[in-house]
Amino acid sequence: MSPGLGAVPSRSLAPFKVIPVCCHLQIIRLRRQLERAPMLMEIPGTRQHADEYKRRWFTDAAMDLVVWLDSDGGIAGFQLCYDKQRCEKSITWKAASGYQHTAVDDGELSGRYKRSPILASDGDMNAWSVCGEFRRRAGALDEPLRAFISKKLIDYSGNLQ
């Protein structure tokens, strides 16, 4: 589950809308970069909403990270989607409500129309493994952000008892 890029239509609407060539080429270049380097890269131009926290979105082939920033630039929360290529899961932390670990139901049903992805409750997560994979892929993130998210991932394992 990832926030939209704004100008890029969903796959189901693609035949009905024209993607500007510059946006299309930017998406192709970004996909090629993601395929070559297993490193979270920031998506430029992530859609923002006036009445919500500012969002930063990072992605690669295996993970998505959305960080919500408050008006002072502090981290109000984040959502890390991991294991995207097999059985996608999501760990969300919000300052106001704490942790939530979920599985991502991608909406795929054989022989039917694709539905919207949803988050469904999921059990435990191997926080050390997810944190290790995150650290390997987060080299392009600034160190304070990387350290904050790593700490929150490890802290999650202590909240399971």
Question: Positive or negative CA dihedral for 49, 55, 60, 64?
Answer: negative
pLDDT of amino acid 74? 95
Q: Which token pair is 159?
A: 């909240």
> Does some domain include residue 17?
yes
> Does some domain include residue 1?
no
> Does some domain include residue 39?
yes
pLDDT of amino acid 107? 59
Domain that holds residue 115: 11-158
pLDDT of amino acid 54? 94
CA distances to 37, 96, 111 from 11, in Å: 25, 34, 17
Asked whether 64 and 133 are in contact (CB, 8 A), the reply is: no
Which residue stretches of the chain have pLDDT < 50? 1-19, 161
> Does some domain include residue 51?
yes
Which neighbouring-strand residues pair with 77?
68, 94
pLDDT of amino acid 109? 61
pLDDT of amino acid 13? 41
pLDDT of amino acid 102? 86
pLDDT of amino acid 127? 85
DSSP letter, residue 95:
T
> Does some domain include residue 2?
no
**Crossing angle for the helix pair 127-137 and 143-158, nearest 10 degrees?**
170
> Does some domain include residue 5?
no
In the chain, the number of structural domains is: 1
Kindly state the helix (H) or strand (E) to which residue 137 belongs, with its residue range: helix 127-137
